[in-house]
Chain A
Amino acid sequence: MADRGETVAGATPPRRRRKAGRAEARAGVLFALPWIIALVVFTLVPLILTFVIAQTKFQIIGLPTWVGLANYEAMLKDPAVWTSARNSALYAVLSVPIKLVLALILALLLNRVTRLAGFYRTVFYLPFLMPAVSGAIVFMLLLSPTGGPVNLILGALGFDAPDWLRDPSVALWTLVLLSLWPLGVETLVFLGGLQNIPRDVQEAAELDSPKAWHRLVWITLPLITPMILFNLVIGIISSFQVFVQAIVIGGTTGTPAESTLMYMVVLYRAAFRYFNIGYAAAMATVLFVVVLLLTLLVFRTARSWVYYEGESR
């Protein structure tokens, strides 16, 4: 904002300076041009086209025919859409908060000086590097009732070992578990926030209230609310789009008994199995609206609970 004020309000700048400013502006547009083209060609135009295609019957071969809102009506009557929407929502509701809480606990644990701190950080970060396909396949073996160590360990600890991959009431938890594994990324983002808390704030807090618990709730957590917000938004958006893990574990039918059938899988099925592009576009539009509303909701409510340093209101 400050720079705009300078160019607009700067009273009668020397000619040389104005010329330089014009050259700079020209360069600015030129440098941004490839990206502006990409923004138009790969984002803006396709976005509008998706809304348009969503109102047509379009099977790739042949021309699209206008059907108005018929695709949306069909969606409302499609049990697969409802099942997958429910599964995806449940997945998001379970995986995002659990992940954030666990990541926060881990970050708090990591936020102290020890000789092993670097080792722990590396260990927690490694799962992020695992390609999702590999990760999902490994988890299938890990959780297998006959070949996996997880149920063996659970049994030894006296727990009832569930049939992770074949019990429809448990299979979604397998996906949640799989989503928790790479929580090191969120952990390190939180850790970055914790370590940015100024030393003097911490010391003042320690003088103020000797109870670590109080300091956590009243000082530390408020200071890292921007990170919580960031992780929450990213988490919700990405968990609604989970695809790889779901298709590796549940295939295109969401086995067992459609319990791992995710919205993106149904969309994929519609577009690239049944070549029903119009219908898939309608599903994409609905996803867009849901994600948009959720993001707005988070940002809306965030005003009351996110603290930005140095903000004046």
Chain B
Amino acid sequence: MIKKRYDKIKLSAQLWLAKRLPPCKEIVPLISQSLEQPLSLREKLKLRLHLLTCKFCIRYLEQLLFMRDVIHQCGNEDAHHELAFPSIQMSPDARERIKRALEKKQK
């Protein structure tokens, strides 16, 4: 009962705040920029307050960090080991061409 009431108050507070803050369209580039450099105090405040009100932008931030993690691991040298998926291979033509170029150079 109390919990329900609290949720309701919280939601109206979030809506009240959200209407008075810059919209998501302005915040989304800021989220990306926060991964590149420390934000100014003003920008930081803008971002923090917005995140209090918006679950989409919270997810957006979390997912950018998630992608950073995934892509870093994927590009890691170990990931290119033979066991890794998918087993991308050089075409036989290219292999033959490179082999000839190497032999020519070694002579």
A-B complex is real: no
Chain A residues near B (Cβ < 8 Å): none
Please report B residues at the A interface, Cβ cutoff 8 Å: none
